[in-house]
Chain A
């Protein structure tokens, strides 16, 4: 019982981190059909920026803010300067462009922060461990669940309860029609892209204390985020949440029960979902 509970908590923690990452990616795919392979770089770069700010100010909150804002701005620039241009209209061009960015940002990170793996120090108040009978949970991990839940609630409120959320949904469902009724779809797209990047940047800082920052992490984490988006269905926030939790739990139980097959179990889940619902669990098209 303790085993199941411990692994469930672990799975949810990792799932929440993946949700932060996949929420942005799925919106990018859903609203703009942009395959953003640079999403992994956004995560890594956000983490590195957060690391430097944390080193300088010793304040985790400021680190989060810096990671999130810097990557939000980078996302906006990326969209406006690269992806919106005529040469980036085709999917293949986008894949190549964003993959190029992935490589460039990865090398810049290595140049600036060096090849040594880094870990962001945990905030003072979130250190320590909670013992619940035979279950052991580090406080910071509980905090990750809370952060994920807050972001989730905010996104849900934004998408379902506000006018702007309705505009974004309209953009997802039918961009042309939305444009027809006077919505500046180009601006909406730029902001959605920027917000997705911002969440990835935040995820980088939040994951920094327990996932760490290292060369090559951008590609590893991108792969997981893509699996989440595929399972959840493109463009669906609910799908991103369910997919992320599912992958988090499968990862957690798979690793502890069948450690040698841990990668296989993840992709097996993806294959099963695709076989039953080719558009993902909550995908529309």
Chain B
């Protein structure tokens, strides 16, 4: 125990520290107020996993630089958009008008993103989209210099996957299935485009509604005569049930199942799926088990901080935060000039100097990220199911895909 004198000394020291903190921060605040970053993510709703990953990833990146950039503090403000477009619009207004944020990071779903699109672009903020992946947002008509996206578009992965399947497997006649909502249809369409352009044939399309509990009725319709394999873009809880029931009904042995994107067998869901997921091939821009020194260090630090492996959603959030930090640094903290800030973010993002867990960052002329496409396969390693890299397709930008990018 400390003596009386010791106690007094401790109190004196405490007061001193307190004074320093108060005056210090007051001085700091008087000179340069903190830069505010609003995280508009659906922490609740049916996709909390995506929100948590992006949120943790972004905070992880801000913590790496001590929540400070360009001589100013970075303050993170979180708002829950509940995966609901109306709520997202209300919350983004609050972030912009009450909190006066400089950056918006979010949202998770494309529906939310399209709902807040007009409002955010009218406001004086930089918008970085971590998860919503509808191709429209960065299309030539909708792209905007103040808007960036760190996830792939619905086409950048699914489209090359169609070509890869034609080239590397002997599956020629494929049945496609997806959830009956925007992301499901967009993804299936992209896969179909890639696959049929390469000469493959789609035998049937099946779209169960989102939140289908029992896939048994759909499975017998998927089982088409003459089919070589089944492509599924079914994610979340639906994906777990789909993969499990696909095996239960004995289809997996006869009719291989694969994903147009890793969304079918996202790493956080694998432990729930169990061995039914073994051997499923899909495609990802960031397999968390990627064996590069940069990613090994990231995954280790992230895991020890949050108690779980990073997911691709963490990578999207992390990259968004890195772009923000890069932009602030380039502007030396003067982020108030938004159109110059946007140009600087674009410049640093394409400079090849920002390293992300998935590799060196690059964006195209529409501020859409250019990704590396890896082909992954679910394998068991040390008793744990993981997506292991089996092939690399290489860099894919949205202009390498179809729709309005198609040169044919």
Contacts and interface: CB of A to CB of B under 8 A. Distances in A.
A71 B233 CA distance: 36
A87 interface: no
A221 to B, nearest CB: 8
Contact of A210 (B217, B237, B244): B244
Contacts, number: 105
A121 interface: yes
A58 interface: no
Given A210-B245, A215-B48, A263-B209, A10 B240 contact: no
Interface string A213-224: 011110011000
Contact of B237 (A117, A140, A141): A117
Contact of A118 (B213, B249, B272): B272
Contact of A116 (B44, B206, B221, B269): B269
Contacts of A107: 44
B272 A215 contact: no
Judged by DSSP, the binding face of B is helix
Contact of B44 (A110, A131, A138, A251): A110
B380 interface: no
Most chain B C-beta atoms within 10 Å of own C-beta, residue among A13, A117, A140: A117
A95 interface: no
B250 A211 contact: no
Contacts of B218: 255-256, 259
Given A117-B236, A215-B45, A131 B250 contact: yes
Interface string A92-116: 0000000000000001001000111
A228 B3 CA distance: 75
Interface in B170-215: 180, 206-209, 211-214
A269 B225 CA distance: 31
Interface string B212-256: 111011101100000000000000110011001100111000000
Given A119-B272, A131-B250, A212-B241, A252 B209 contact: no
Interface of A: 3, 6-7, 10-11, 13-14, 107, 110, 114-119, 121, 129, 131, 136, 138, 140-141, 210-212, 214-217, 220-221, 251-256, 259-260, 262-263
**Interchain residue pairs A-B with the least CB separation, the first 9:** A115-B48, A117-B237, A255-B217, A214-B237, A10-B216, A138-B248, A256-B217, A136-B250, A252-B217
Interface of B: 44-49, 52, 180, 206-209, 211-214, 216-218, 220-221, 236-237, 240-241, 244-245, 248-250, 268-269, 272-274
